[in-house]
Amino acid sequence: MVTIKEIADRLGVSISTVSKGLNGASDISDELKQIVLDTAVEMGYSTKRSRSEKYRKVAIFVENMEYNDIDDFGYDIVLGFKQNAFRQKFEVDVIPVTPALQQQERYDTYLLKNQYCGAFLIGFALHDEWMKQLETTTMPTVLLDNFIPENPTVGYVGTDSNEGIDMAVKYLHNLGHTNIAFLNGSLHSKVSDDRQTAFENSMKKCGLVPQKNLMAHGFYVADSAKYHVPGFLSNGATAIICGNDLIASGVINECKMRGFRIPEDISVIGFDDIPIASTTEPTLSTIRQERNELGRCALVALLSLINHIPISITLLRPQLIIRDSSGCAPVEKK
C-alpha cells in the first residue's frame, strides 16, 4: 500500500503537509489540498477516512473499454471520477462487467445488494441488457456517451461530438480539402451515430458533399483501417477523419504502407487525444476530449441525481489539436 511518505516524495513536500492535505487542515491552501488529494487517489492511497462509516459507495461499471494503463482511453476518466469522489467522501469500486453478468443479475438488484447508492457506466453499447433496464431504473446512474430518454434518474456525460467534427471539417476545408473521408467507429453506438450525423451536416455547412464511398463504419481499433483505407484512397480522398486515435494510427500506417505521404498526400485527424497521438509518425492531429474532466463531471452529475436534481445532459467542449498529420490539400493531379 502507498504510504504518506511516498506521496510526499512524489510531490516534493513534507509528510506533515500531505497529512494536512488528507485531513483537510485549514492552514494549507485549497489548491495544495486538492493536489494532495488528487495525487493520493492517483497513487491508490487508501485512508482511514475512506473506511469510515461516513463514506458512501458508488460503482464504476466498465464494459468493453480499457482503463488500467495510463495510455488507455478509460484511464483518465476513471481517475477523474475517483479524484472528485474522494473529495466528496464517496468510495468508488471499479467493476468490469460482462454480457453474462448482465443476463444473470438485474442492474438495480446488483446495486442494492452491494450497497451502491449510484453508478457510472462506461463502454456500454446500445444493445446491452443493462442499457435496456436503465429505461426504468430508479438508481441514480450516469452514462458516458449514452442517453436514456425520459428517465430522470439517469444522466449522460460526454463531449460535444457535433462541435468536434465541425471544427475538423472546417479546418480541413480551409486547407483546401474537398474529398474528405470519415472512418467512423462501431455501429450501434450513440457516439458513432452522433458523429456520423455531425460529419454529414458539417460537410454540407462547408458546401461539400458527403460521399457514400468516402464514409464507413469500422470498429474502434487500428485494424479497421486496412478494410476501408484502400477504398478511400482509390476514391480520391485527400483527408481522413477517424472515429478515434487508434483508428487514426491504423490509417497512418495503412497510407504509408501504400506509398502515400502524411500529410503531403493525405491528412489524417483522430478523435480523443489519448497519449499515442503524440507518438505516431507523424504525430496525430486530433479532436481532444478532456477525459479527466469527463470523469469529474460524471461524479458531479451523479451527485446531482443522488440529490434529486434531474440533470440530463452534460457535454464538454472538444478541442482541435493540430500536430503533424494534417496539412494543405495536395495540388490536383492532371
Binding region for a second copy (CB under 8 A): 149-150, 152, 160, 163, 166-167, 290, 293, 296-297, 300, 304, 309-317, 319
- For a second copy, the closer of residues 160 and 265 by Cβ is 160
133 phi/psi in degrees, rounded to 5: -65, -25
Least distance to a second copy from the beta carbon of 160, Å?
5
CA distance 238 to 267: 6
Q: Which residue has the cell 453478468?
A: 101
CA distance 282 to 325: 5
- For a second copy, the closer of residues 187 and 309 by Cβ is 309
Positive/negative CA dihedral, 279, 280, 282, 286: negative
Residue 108: closest CA among 98, 119, 95: 119
- For a second copy, the closer of residues 272 and 290 by Cβ is 290
Least distance to a second copy from the beta carbon of 288, Å?
10
DSSP codes joined into one string, 237-284: -SEEEESSHHHHHHHHHHHHHTT--TTTT-EEEEEE--GGGGTSSSPP
Q: For residue 180, what is the enclosing H or E element?
A: strand 180-184
Other CB atoms within 10 A of residue 10 CB = 14
Least distance to a second copy from the beta carbon of 313, Å?
4
Q: Which residue has the cell 477525459?
A: 291
In three-state secondary structure terms, 106 is coil
Least distance to a second copy from the beta carbon of 262, Å?
26
Least distance to a second copy from the beta carbon of 147, Å?
10
Least distance to a second copy from the beta carbon of 196, Å?
18
- For a second copy, the closer of residues 76 and 290 by Cβ is 290
CA distance 118 to 124: 16
- For a second copy, the closer of residues 161 and 280 by Cβ is 161
CA distance 300 to 174: 38
- For a second copy, the closer of residues 154 and 262 by Cβ is 154
Least distance to a second copy from the beta carbon of 275, Å?
20
- For a second copy, the closer of residues 149 and 259 by Cβ is 149
Other CB atoms within 10 A of residue 223 CB = 12
